[in-house]
Chains A and B, each alone.
Chain A
Amino acid sequence: MDEPTLYLADVRYRYPTGEEALRGVTLSVGAGERVGLIGPNGAGKSTLLLAIAGFVPAAGTVRLAGHTLSRATVGHVRSHLGLVFQDPDDQLFMPRVGDDVAFGPSTMGLNPHEVHMRVHEALEAVDLEGYEMRAPYHLSVGEKRRAAIATVLAMRPQVLALDEPSANLDPRGRRRLIELLRGMPNTMLVVGHDLDMILEVCGRTVLLDGGRVVADGPSGEILADRTLLESHGLELPLGLAALRNQK
């Protein structure tokens, strides 16, 4: 039996204030699978990403690319998890895009030549060739988002975890991002409220609410279930709603 690329078992986390953010999340994601993680605000989506990366001390088991998350393996796990944060300004902290993309590979201990190659390859993958010397601060939101994705692609992660990747993008920027994600071979975890995008990008959707998985299945089924979505503070994707109205 193939081991799943990402495996979570009964992941629980309680904020220091006592609120329960995750109440036993169990999930397994196979190699190459693209999974959409949806749910209302405060459902625990972002917290789950932080828990997988070991940023919040959650109880339960997290296994990623054959490593069980622990104090000793957290560096390993993070190097296999490409975490793309909601706000690209958080992600891009170096003075030049090239330096920023090089940061991850450099901390992996690769030699300068290899780092250079990875930077080139990653920027090419997100259509930002020649942006090495640009200041992240002066890019457009769409460019920043793609640069942020490049910073983790350069580490060749097993799993790409994106938090609200289409937020604040104009339609063209969003379309470009969707095509980009669809063309990538990586295992992917896409968190977001842009259900139309998730429908296009992800074959499978997991609905989270109150820190628990409430539904898990093919995107075409879950995202078409109006009753399910509405009872968890979501709405039918516009694309599907329009189709229905035509009938």
Chain B
Amino acid sequence: MLDHFASGASPVHRLDPAAKTVAALAAVLATVLVGRGHFLPLAPVAAALAVYHAIGRVPLKYSAKRLLICSPFAAAAAVLFPLLEPGKAVWAATLGGWTVAVTEEGLLRAADIVSKFFLCVWAVLLLLSTTRFQDMITALGRLRVPRILVTQMAFMYRYLWVLSDEAMRLRIARAARDCGYGSWRLRMRSTTAVVGMLFLRTLDRSERIYRAMAARGFDGRMGVAHAEKMRATDWLFAIAAIAAAAGIVAWDRLAYA
């Protein structure tokens, strides 16, 4: 699921997860720090991601699909900003007293947001599809991400399937008695009931899990069994990523000053 292609064996798969996380963060920061409407400084970010993508041999179809799943957020910005941003109108229509205008500034802003959005999602996507989720959790712990967040992510990953299984069983049990002639209201009511029941059962399950963990001495720390060592290549990769990001931001500031 989340880390479907993460068990590959390419050079980027072998990089230390902490180094990769730092690099992805650097790519995201560089992207969002570049000034509005400056597209040229984004080009090296895109190029770096493309190279990483190729080395990691992440299937294009797979990443395109994931990008599409995230795209509704960008689509909302793409549609709304051209209409909302005040500025020079390139196209306008009057509808019973209301004037709808697409502005040049708005179009630019939309293009800016959409391109940055895709670059950021792409960076995170590449990180996830070349790093096993468990390794990333460990890496986040090493990067001093608050423990409670790391633990929560680990649990989310572990119990996502359990939860979807539970939901599926409830849905099947309902479908087994659904002959299709029920009213719309009944359908809605039973759907909300299923969701409510899922919530109750999740709550119960979490209680049981906690007790089982406490019984085995859980004190809020997830055991990090093997603390990996960063190799020279890992340091090189992370530092290069940070330097490149800093360079891009500096270039942007100087060139468009």
Judge whether A159 is part of the interface by a CB distance below 8 angstroms. no
Which of B169, B178, B193, B201 makes the CB contact (< 8 A) with A94?
B193
Judge whether A152 is part of the interface by a CB distance below 8 angstroms. yes
CB under 8 Å from chain B, chain A span 4-51: 50
Judge whether A225 is part of the interface by a CB distance below 8 angstroms. no
The dominant DSSP class at the B interface is: helix
Q: How many residues of A are counted as interface, with CB atoms below 8 angstroms from the partner's CB atoms?
A: 28
Q: Is the CB of A78 within 8 A of B181?
A: no
Q: Is the CB of B177 within 8 A of A78?
A: yes
Given contacts A87-B169, A93-B194, contact A78 B176 (CB under 8 A): yes
Closest CB in chain A relative to B223 CB, distance in Å = 30
Q: Is the CB of A103 within 8 A of B179?
A: no
Selecting from A60-68, A104-112, A125-133, A187-195, the interface stretch reads: A104-112
Q: Is the CB of A155 within 8 A of B177?
A: yes
Residues in A whose Cβ lies below 8 Å from that of B197: 89, 93
CA distance A152 to B174 in the complex (A): 11
**Interface membership of chain A positions 128-141, coded 1 if the CB is closer than 8 angstroms to chain B and 0 otherwise:** 00000000010000
Residues in A whose Cβ lies below 8 Å from that of B183: 106
Q: Is the CB of A55 within 8 A of B175?
A: yes
CA distance A197 to B190 in the complex (A): 34
Q: Is the CB of B181 within 8 A of A95?
A: no
Q: Is the CB of B170 within 8 A of A107?
A: no
Tell me the number of A-to-B contacts counted with CB atoms below 8 Å: 74
CB under 8 Å from chain A, chain B span 154-184: 169-170, 172-183
Residues in B whose Cβ lies below 8 Å from that of A99: 189, 193
Closest to A76 in B: B179
Judge whether A166 is part of the interface by a CB distance below 8 angstroms. no
Residues in B whose Cβ lies below 8 Å from that of A220: none
CB under 8 Å from chain B, chain A span 86-101: 87, 89-91, 93-95, 99
Closest to B176 in A: A83
Q: Is the CB of A93 within 8 A of B179?
A: no
Which of A55, A87, A107, A137 makes the CB contact (< 8 A) with B177?
A107
Which of A79, A91, A137, A155 makes the CB contact (< 8 A) with B173?
A91
CA distance A85 to B168 in the complex (A): 13
Judge whether A75 is part of the interface by a CB distance below 8 angstroms. yes
Residue of B177, B180, B181 with highest tally of chain A CB at under 10 A: B177
Closest to A152 in B: B177
CA distance A104 to B182 in the complex (A): 9
Judge whether B196 is part of the interface by a CB distance below 8 angstroms. yes
Residues in B whose Cβ lies below 8 Å from that of A79: 179
CA distance A53 to B201 in the complex (A): 25
CB under 8 Å from chain A, chain B span 192-206: 193-194, 196-197, 200-201
Residues in A whose Cβ lies below 8 Å from that of B175: 55, 78
Residues in B whose Cβ lies below 8 Å from that of A205: none
Residue of B174, B176, B190, B196 with highest tally of chain A CB at under 10 A: B176
CA distance A65 to B189 in the complex (A): 30
Supply 5 further A-B pairs (C-beta < 8 A) apart from A55-B175, A93-B173, A108-B179.
A79-B179, A85-B176, A90-B170, A103-B182, A104-B179
B residues sitting closer than 8 Å to A (CB atoms) are 169-170, 172-183, 186, 189-190, 193-194, 196-197, 200-201
**12 residue pairs bridging A and B, Cβ less than 8 Å apart:** A50-B172, A53-B176, A75-B179, A76-B179, A83-B176, A91-B173, A93-B193, A94-B193, A106-B182, A107-B181, A109-B179, A155-B177
Q: Which 5 residue pairs spanning A and B have beta carbons closest together? A: A109-B181, A107-B182, A104-B177, A79-B179, A90-B173
